[in-house]
């Protein structure tokens, strides 16, 4: 029997959030936070909408998850995010003590891996889940943006 709650299932949910961001004219990054196979928080980029450089998908999801759980620590939670977290988001994820981070595609310029950002020592990082779909959405966004200017 196939487990309906696998990394692909939850990454699809994060991609749905990224599509919402795309439709709003935001850089299409989406995130969901899961505990015990249950989505407890969703987020997508809102930097343009909120005029706030910190309004990344991960930050939105972290805040929503902390509110849901009634505490600031996200132990036993998994973040699914379509793009490798940036240094700012990696810092927030460090402080949240999130257990797992699963990302779609790498961010070779601003991603936490290339910048040697520190995650919590107990955090497990896994990448490449639905990588092509996440990368294609970003490419489509930037092509459309270039053609509008």
Both tokens assigned to 32: 């969901």
Q: Which residue is catalytic, options 58, 84, 131, 133?
A: 58
Say whether 44 counts as a known binding-site residue. Answer: no
pLDDT by 10s per residue, the chain, length 149: 456 679 999 999 999 999 999 999 999 999 999 999 999 999 999 999 999 999 999 999 999 999 999 999 999 999 999 999 999 999 999 999 999 999 999 999 999 988 888 889 999 999 999 999 999 999 999 998 888 76
Both tokens assigned to 37: 């196979």
pLDDT of 3 reads: 61
Q: Distance (Å, rounded) from C-alpha 43 to C-alpha 6?
A: 19
Instruction: Quote the Cα angle for 17-20-24, to 5°.
Output: 145
> Of 80, 81, 83, 76, nearest to 120 (Cα)?
76
pLDDT of 149 reads: 62
pLDDT of 1 reads: 44
Active site residue 109: no
């Amino acid at each position: 029997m196939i487990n309906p709650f696998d990394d692909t299932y939850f990454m699809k949910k994060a991609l749905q959030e990224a599509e919402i961001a795309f439709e709003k004219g935001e850089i299409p990054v989406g995130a969901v936070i899961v505990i015990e196979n249950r989505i407890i928080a969703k987020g997508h980029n809102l930097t343009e909408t909120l005029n706030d450089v910190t309004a990344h998908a991960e930050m939105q999801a972290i805040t929503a998850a902390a509110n849901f759980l009634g505490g600031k620590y996200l132990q036993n939670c998994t973040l699914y995010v379509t793009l490798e977290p940036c240094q700012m988001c990696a810092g927030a994820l460090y402080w949240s003590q999130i257990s797992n981070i699963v990302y779609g595609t790498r961010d070779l310029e601003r991603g936490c891996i290339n910048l040697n950002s520190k995650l919590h020592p107990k955090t497990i990082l896994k990448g490449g889940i639905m990588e092509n779909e996440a990368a294609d959405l970003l490419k489509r966004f930037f092509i459309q943006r270039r053609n509008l200017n």
